[in-house]
C-alpha cells in the first residue's frame, strides 16, 4: 500500500520537473538582469527585469512631398493621401542598470519590429536586438548580462503618473538619438502600371531625426513619444516626419530615385506577455518590479507543461489515499464496536480535511499579500504546516493501538 510519505515524495519529484533549471549561482540581484536559468526564454529580447508587451505596430503615413531626379510630378498618386501599414512588434519596459546614465532614465524602453512568425531561436543567444530586429527604437543601447559595458541613454524619458489613476504610468520623450534605421512597409505604389521603382508596393521608411535623412528643404522636427502603461496594457504613440524609397531586393532605385516624405504616426496597442513579464508593483511613483521570471515565486514559469502533466498524473493516481486510508485505520482498528464506527468516521474525515486545507478558497486567501504581489512563501508554509500536522496525527493514531497493547501486557 502507498503510504502518505511515499505520496509526498512522488509529488515532490513531479513538482521538481516544473523547476526548469538549477539556481543561477552567478546571479547578482543588484543588477537589472534576470537569472540565467530559465529555459524557453530568448534572452536577447527578454534579458531584463520588467514588463513585456506584444502588439501590431500600426503606421499611418501622409506624404506631403514627392520627388524624383528626373520628374518631380512622379508619384502624385500618393501625394496628400494617407496610407497605412502594419508590422509585428514587441515592447519592453524594463529596469535600468548602472550602465544607463547621462541622464538616468526611470526605465528603459525597447521597441522592436520583427517579421511575422519569426524564428527567434534561429538567431544566436548572444545576439543584440539592435542589429537582428527589422527596426528598433531604443531609449538606450541594450546592455546584456553576458556583455556589459559603459553606456549612455539615447534620449530622455520624462515620467509622470496619471492624475486619475496612480497605477498607470505615463512616459514622454523626444527621439533625439541620431541613429539612422529603416523599416520595410507595404502600401500603395506610386504607379502600378510601370515596371520602374514607382510600381513597387514595398517601401523603405526612415523616421527622420537628423538633417541628412530628409529631402532638401524639407521641414522636420524631432519625433515625439507618448506612452501609458500598466500591468495589463501599453499604448505608445510616436509622431514625426518620414522619408521613404521604393524597395527592391536587388537594391534601391532603377534610375528614377523616387522618394516621398511627409508626416507619420506610429501606434502600438500592446497586451502584456504574462509569461515573460515580472510583476509590476503599482502605486509607486516610479515603476518597480517584483522579480518573478526565473524565481520560484513566479505564478507560472515558461515551458512547464511536462511538469504540470506529470504532477497531475501523480495527484490523480495517489490523492485517493486520503479517502482510502481513514476507513481501515480509525474505523476498524480504533473502533471498539460497530456502534462507534460512525463517530470514528467523522473524526477521521476531520483530520483528513486538515491535511488538505491549503486548497481552493483557503489558499486563495493566503496567497495575495498586497496589490501586485503574490505571497508564495506564505502559501508554502501554510500548506506545509497543515499537511505535516495531519500526517503527525495519522501517525499517532497508527501507533496508538500498539501503545495500548504494550500497556495491557505490562
Q: Which of 193, 198, 192 is nearest to 70 (CA)?
A: 198
Question: How crowded is residue 148: how many other Cβ atoms within 10 Å of its Cβ?
Answer: 13
Residues 6+ apart with CB under 8 A from 262: 61, 62, 63, 64, 65, 241, 242
Question: How crowded is residue 175: how many other Cβ atoms within 10 Å of its Cβ?
Answer: 20
Taking the model in full, what pTM does it have? 0.68
Biggest alpha carbon–alpha carbon distance for the chain: 117
Give the residue carrying C-alpha cell 538549477: 22
Q: Which of 270, 135, 141, 148 is nearest to 205 (CA)?
A: 135
Cα–Cα distance, 318 to 409 (Å, whole number):
38
How many CA atoms lie less than 13 Å away from 62 in the CB half-sphere?
6
The answer, yes or no, to whether the previous bond of 174 is cis (omega within 30 of 0) is no
| pLDDT values of the chain reduced to their tens digit, one per residue, 410 residues | 333 333 333 333 333 333 344 466 778 888 899 988 787 889 999 999 999 999 999 999 998 877 654 445 556 677 678 889 999 999 999 998 887 777 778 899 999 999 988 999 899 888 999 899 999 999 888 888 877 666 677 888 887 766 446 678 999 988 888 777 889 998 877 765 555 555 567 888 999 887 666 677 788 899 999 999 998 999 999 999 998 888 876 554 444 467 888 899 999 999 999 889 999 987 667 888 989 888 754 444 454 556 667 777 777 776 666 666 555 555 556 666 666 667 777 776 776 666 566 566 666 677 665 544 566 677 778 777 877 877 777 677 667 666 655 555 55
Q: Give the bridge partners for 51, in sequence order.
A: 93
Amino acid at each position: 500500500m502507498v503510504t502518505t510519505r511515499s505520496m509526498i515524495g512522488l509529488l515532490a519529484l513531479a513538482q521538481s520537473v516544473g523547476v526548469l533549471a538549477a539556481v543561477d549561482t552567478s546571479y547578482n540581484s543588484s543588477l537589472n538582469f534576470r537569472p540565467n536559468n530559465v529555459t524557453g526564454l530568448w534572452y536577447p529580447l527578454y534579458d531584463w527585469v520588467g514588463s513585456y508587451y506584444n502588439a501590431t505596430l500600426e503606421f499611418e503615413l501622409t506624404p506631403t512631398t514627392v520627388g524624383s531626379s528626373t520628374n518631380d510630378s512622379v508619384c502624385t498618386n500618393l501625394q496628400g493621401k494617407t496610407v497605412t501599414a502594419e508590422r509585428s512588434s514587441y515592447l519592453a519596459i524594463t529596469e535600468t542598470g548602472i550602465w544607463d546614465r547621462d541622464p538616468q532614465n526611470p526605465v528603459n524602453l525597447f521597441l522592436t519590429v520583427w517579421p511575422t512568425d519569426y524564428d527567434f531561436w534561429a538567431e544566436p543567444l548572444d545576439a543584440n536586438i539592435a542589429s537582428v530586429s527589422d527596426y528598433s527604437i531604443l531609449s538606450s543601447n541594450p546592455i546584456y548580462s553576458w556583455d556589459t559595458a559603459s553606456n549612455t541613454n539615447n534620449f530622455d524619458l520624462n515620467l509622470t503618473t496619471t492624475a486619475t489613476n496612480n497605477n498607470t504610468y505615463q512616459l514622454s520623450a523626444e527621439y533625439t538619438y541620431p541613429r539612422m534605421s529603416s523599416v520595410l512597409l507595404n502600401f500603395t505604389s506610386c504607379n502600378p502600371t510601370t515596371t520602374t521603382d514607382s510600381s513597387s508596393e514595398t517601401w523603405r521608411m526612415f523616421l527622420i531625426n537628423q538633417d541628412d535623412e530628409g529631402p532638401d528643404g524639407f521641414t522636420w522636427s524631432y519625433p515625439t513619444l507618448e506612452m501609458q502603461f500598466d500591468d495589463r496594457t501599453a499604448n505608445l504613440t510616436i509622431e514625426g516626419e518620414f522619408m521613404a524609397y521604393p524597395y527592391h531586393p536587388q537594391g534601391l532605385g532603377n534610375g528614377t530615385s523616387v522618394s516621398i516624405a511627409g508626416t507619420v504616426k506610429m501606434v502600438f496597442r500592446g497586451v502584456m506577455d504574462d509569461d515573460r513579464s515580472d510583476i509590476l508593483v503599482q502605486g509607486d511613483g516610479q515603476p518597480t518590479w517584483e522579480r518573478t521570471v526565473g524565481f520560484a515565486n513566479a505564478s507560472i514559469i515558461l515551458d512547464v507543461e511536462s511538469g504540470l502533466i506529470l504532477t497531475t498524473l501523480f495527484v490523480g493516481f495517489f490523492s485517493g489515499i486520503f479517502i482510502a486510508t481513514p476507513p481501515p485505520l480509525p474505523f476498524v482498528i480504533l473502533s471498539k464496536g460497530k456502534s462507534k464506527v460512525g463517530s470514528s468516521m467523522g473524526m477521521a474525515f476531520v483530520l483528513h480535511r486538515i491535511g488538505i486545507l491549503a486548497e481552493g478558497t483557503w489558499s486563495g486567501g493566503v496567497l495575495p499579500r498586497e496589490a501586485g504581489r503574490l505571497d508564495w512563501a506564505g502559501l508554502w508554509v501554510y500548506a506545509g504546516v497543515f499537511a505535516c500536522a495531519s500526517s503527525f496525527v495519522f501517525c499517532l493514531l497508527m501507533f496508538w493501538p500498539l501503545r495500548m497493547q504494550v500497556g495491557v501486557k505490562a
